[in-house]
Structure 1
Amino acid sequence: MSHTIKMKTIQYALLCATTVLAHAAVQAGEMTLFQDDHFRGRSVNVRNDVNDLSRLDFNDKASSIVVRSGSWEVCKDSNFRNSCRVLQPGRYASLPGMNDSISSVREVRRGGGGHDGGHGGNRPGRPDNNGAVLLFPDAGMRGQPVRLDNEVNDLNRYRFNDRAQSIVINYGRWEFCADANFRGRCVVMGPGSYNRIDGGLDRRISSIRRAR
């Protein structure tokens, strides 16, 4: 084999390796934890699983989060135990129910790979936590949720009228109304976990739509 052919072969191999590494970098998840709400204060950037945030001097300190890519599970105890929640890409200006209490984080692999289900604790709404909005029939994100990605002018279609007691909003700002067709008392809520619906809408939500 001539010197020129050898050089071209090496160059092609290097190009293939670079392409694979670049693709892997794009697929990797990334998340930033902030010490104060609305993305203020000290922050740490995370690209790998962290089973104990004490290693980063950030245990029980996160008050807001930006998920830049991937889906991430955040848990109240180290080693991914106790109450956990999955965050989709988005900006979480506050963390209702988990403020200053996150101790471990890890990326959720697609197809369920990478993590087993053997750790204990209360993990409401698992294993399927997809959907922009999850409406739960019981407080504390318990019970079988209804998952919604689009507006619904009457929750009777889902047999869920006046039933929601807790909510998880994975992304976007949503308007929840006491009557069908977005009438009556309405409240707008952003990303977060709401263990108990307040604002006079506990077991009173009849319609939901993306906030304008």
Structure 2
Amino acid sequence: MKRLLAAAAVLATLAQAAAAGEITLFTDSDFRGARLSIDRDAYNLADMGFNDRASSLVVRSGVWQVCENKDFGGYCAEFGPGEYRELPRFNDRISSVREISRGRGGDDRRGGPGWRGERDDRRDDRRDERGGRGDAVQLFSGQRFEGPAVSLSGDVRELNDVGFNDRAGSIVIHEGRWEFCEHGDFRGQCVVFGPGRYPFLEGMNNRISSMRRVR
């Protein structure tokens, strides 16, 4: 019986490890230099000798929150599976990381060209650790919600700060109305989108440089 219980415990541990996401941090841009792979919450990267050292990262699975201070404090942003060659806003400033979702979700193959999004009346059940709603906006590098993604919940004057300048090819808005502009500081051509799913961005494809909530 003891052997059976021990074997079950080992299998449970292996299953949990297999389900966990993974993020790899690199000390230099373009995935060069020393690296650190993480598959669990890291409250203080100083404990791993990697505080304020990351200049690029790869998310192999899961969605990860990256923060400039330890204990997930200060400015934070979320990164889905993908390769991020540069981290202008976080260059040598990452002090803590944690996985917040093990499923991407939102990969909807419906829709067609045009500005009209697909309003989704289904509730977003994604919760953060404080029990609130998940992030308000998700930007995807590819059309139809494909490719690397970043999730945001506040105004961003320069998307270059999160490594996503001129990269958005589709958008999901979970709540609020948001203005997206082609230049930093909300300048140039701008459009406003409300809650919904926008698989194509037509004239703004790969041209969004700033965003802010307008209601």
Output the TM-score relative to the length of structure 2. Answer: 0.54
Match of 1:209 in 2: 205
Residues 60, 82 of structure 2: 8 Å contact kept = yes
Structure 1 residues 89-120: Cα deviation after superposition (integer angstroms, max 9, x where no partner): 1100000211111111111046326x2279xx
Mark the CA change 1:86 to 1:138 in structure 2 (over 3 Å): closer, same or farther. closer
- SS of 1:130's equivalent in the other structure is strand
Match of 2:138 in 1: 130
Q: Which has the larger radius of gyration?
A: 1
Match of 1:32 in 2: 24
Shift of 1:19: 5.9
Mark the CA change 1:128 to 1:19 in structure 2 (over 3 Å): closer, same or farther. farther
Structure 1 residues 125-176: Cα deviation after superposition (integer angstroms, max 9, x where no partner): x6334341679876257xxxxxx98559xxxxxx97xx534xxxxxxxxxxx
Mark the CA change 1:117 to 1:45 in structure 2 (over 3 Å): closer, same or farther. same
Amino acid at match of 1:95: L
Match of 2:64 in 1: 72
How does 1:1-212 map onto structure 2 within 5 Å?
Answer: 20-109=12-101, 111-112=126-127, 115-116=129-130, 127-132=135-140, 139=157, 163-165=179-181, 197=184, 202-204=187-189, 207-209=203-205
Mark the CA change 1:129 to 1:88 in structure 2 (over 3 Å): closer, same or farther. farther
Distance (Å, rounded) in 2 between the aligned partners of 1:22 and 1:208 = 45
Shift of 1:16: 6.7
- SS of 2:187's equivalent in the other structure is coil
Distance (Å, rounded) in 1 between the aligned partners of 2:23 and 2:75 = 19
Residues 86, 129 of structure 1: 8 Å contact kept = no
- Structure 1 gaps of 5+ residues are 1-5, 119-125, 142-147, 153-158, 166-177, 179-195
Structure 1 residues 53-100: Cα deviation after superposition (integer angstroms, max 9, x where no partner): 111111111100001111110001111011000110110000021111
Distance (Å, rounded) in 1 between the aligned partners of 2:86 and 2:168 = 21
Mark the CA change 1:21 to 1:128 in structure 2 (over 3 Å): closer, same or farther. farther
Aligned residues: CA RMSD:
4.0
Residues 25, 35 of structure 2: 8 Å contact kept = yes
| Percent identity of paired positions between Structure 1 and Structure 2 | 33
- Structure 2 gaps of 5+ residues are 103-125, 141-148, 160-166, 172-176, 192-202, 208-215
Distance (Å, rounded) in 1 between the aligned partners of 2:23 and 2:33 = 16
Distance (Å, rounded) in 2 between the aligned partners of 1:129 and 1:27 = 25
Distance (Å, rounded) in 1 between the aligned partners of 2:39 and 2:155 = 34
Output the TM-score relative to the length of structure 1. Answer: 0.55
Residues 139, 170 of structure 2: 8 Å contact kept = no
